[in-house]
């Protein structure tokens, strides 16, 4: 009986530790890889303008977010290693300055730090700091959204608008997977802001995104 009790106590304890570990390290089903159109970031920032008055004219990385299908609130700020610049090799830093700049305040390091500490810590069991940024860089390189849209004659224009499906369709043809579009409201216009690619649990295989919110699907989208 004593043996049984201690075994039981051990099992309960082991489970409790396992549970705590899972909770603290965050749990997720898949990744959202989010790229943004810098001119839209800057247009909707009225109070504090972007540090560079002429925003970059190509899609840049916003972040790689471990996400959960059943819980729309993403796991965030998990208990993991905190970001240090020294974790990134110099060659990678110089590439990230192109692909993952802070288009708003101009402090790239601070942007990377914020994204890692908020999101990256929640998938640290799969991607450590270096791998998290390397994988994101590779995802950015794998499909050039700016070029995909350009080839479909979707280029920044002050008045022309597109349907949600007009923009999704060339991206879907090029990648073989359904992306998700996110918009920002600017007065009565909805501006294309972000394109999301979804990846499996290991951040290797691109999969279809199946979330719906993002842009009002029935409304025209402006790309400026
Ligand atoms: C997703 O979130 C729900 C609710 O917080 C949680 O119960 C579930 O374990 C999470 N799923 C995964 C795979 O982590
Ligand atoms: C994780 O949380 C535990 C308990 O709250 C704490 O002791 C530990 O220092 C934390 N680890 C990190 C890397 O933050
Ligand atoms: C940029 O952000 C990093 C990390 O938060 C900080 O250490 C550094 O002082 C900032 N640089 C400037 C110029 O503000
Ligand atoms: C992506 O495509 C755009 C438009 O064709 C081009 O200007 C840009 O250099 C490309 N970026 C990369 C990293 O190839
Ligand atoms: C865009 O079109 C050019 C010229 O036809 C082609 O070389 C390039 O591969 C296309 N890029 C994409 C991403 O489809
Ligand atoms: C999206 O796909 C996942 C995995 O196939 C599934 O579990 C989830 O229910 C789907 N969500 C919606 C809104 O279709």
pLDDT, tens digit, for every residue of 26-48?
589 999 999 999 999 999 987 78
Compute the distance between CA of residue 221 and CA of residue 224 in angstroms, rounded to an integer.
Answer: 10
Residue 22 pLDDT > 60:
no
pLDDT given at position 11: 53
- The atom of ligand 5 lying closest to the CA of 150 is 1
CB contact set of 135 (below 8 Å; sequence gap of 6+): 64, 127, 203
pLDDT, tens digit, for every residue of 181-194?
999 999 899 999 99
Q: Output the average pLDDT for the chain.
A: 90
Residue 41 CA to ligand 1 centre (angstroms): 31
For residue 194, indicate whether it is catalytic.
no
Compute the distance between CA of residue 30 and CA of residue 12 in angstroms, rounded to an integer.
Answer: 29
Residue 203 pLDDT > 90:
yes
Answer whether 96's CB lies under 8 Å from 137's CB: yes
Q: Which CATH architecture has domain 2-222?
A: Alpha-Beta Complex (3.90)
Compute the distance between CA of residue 11 and CA of residue 5 in angstroms, rounded to an integer.
Answer: 10
Ligand nearest to the CA of 141: 4
Domains of the chain, residue spans: 2-222
pLDDT given at position 55: 93
Residue 65 CA to ligand 1 centre (angstroms): 15
Percentage, residues of the chain above pLDDT 70? 88
Compute the distance between CA of residue 85 and CA of residue 93 in angstroms, rounded to an integer.
Answer: 9
For residue 193, indicate whether it is catalytic.
no
For residue 115, indicate whether it is catalytic.
yes
Tokens of 162: 């597109």
Q: Report residues whose beta carbon is within 6 angstroms of any ligand 4 atom.
A: 58, 144, 146-147, 150
Length of the chain: 224
Q: Report residues whose beta carbon is within 6 angstroms of any ligand 1 atom.
A: 27-29, 68, 70-71
Q: Report residues whose beta carbon is within 6 angstroms of any ligand 5 atom.
A: 144, 147-148, 151, 174
Percentage, residues of the chain above pLDDT 90? 77
Residue nearest (by alpha carbon) to ligand 4 atom 6: 147
Ligand nearest to the CA of 107: 3
* Burial class (CB within 10 angstroms; exposed 0-12, middle 13-18, buried 19+) of 172: middle
pLDDT given at position 211: 87
């Amino acid at each position: 009986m004593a043996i049984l009790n201690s075994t039981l106590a051990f099992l309960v304890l082991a489970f409790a530790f396992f549970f705590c570990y899972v909770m603290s390290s965050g749990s997720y089903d898949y990744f959202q890889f989010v790229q943004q159109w810098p001119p839209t970031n800057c247009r909707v920032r009225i109070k504090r303008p972007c540090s560079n008055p002429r925003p970059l004219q190509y899609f840049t990385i916003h972040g790689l977010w471990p996400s959960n299908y059943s819980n729309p609130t993403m796991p965030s700020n998990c208990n993991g290693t905190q970001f240090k610049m020294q974790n990134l090799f110099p060659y990678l830093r110089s590439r990230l300055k192109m692909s993952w700049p802070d288009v708003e305040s101009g402090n790239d390091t601070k942007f990377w730090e914020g994204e890692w500490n908020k999101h990256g810590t929640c998938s640290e069991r799969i991607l450590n700091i270096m791998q998290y940024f390397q994988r994101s860089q590779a995802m950015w390189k794998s499909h050039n959204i700016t070029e995909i849209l350009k080839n479909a004659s979707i280029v920044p224009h002050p008045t022309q608008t597109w349907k949600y499906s007009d923009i999704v369709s060339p991206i879907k043809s090029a990648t073989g997977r359904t992306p998700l579009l996110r918009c920002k409201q600017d007065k009565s216009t909805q501006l294309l802001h972000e394109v999301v690619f979804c990846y499996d649990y290991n951040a290797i295989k691109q999969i279809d995104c199946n979330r719906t919110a993002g842009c009002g699907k029935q409304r025209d989208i402006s790309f400026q």
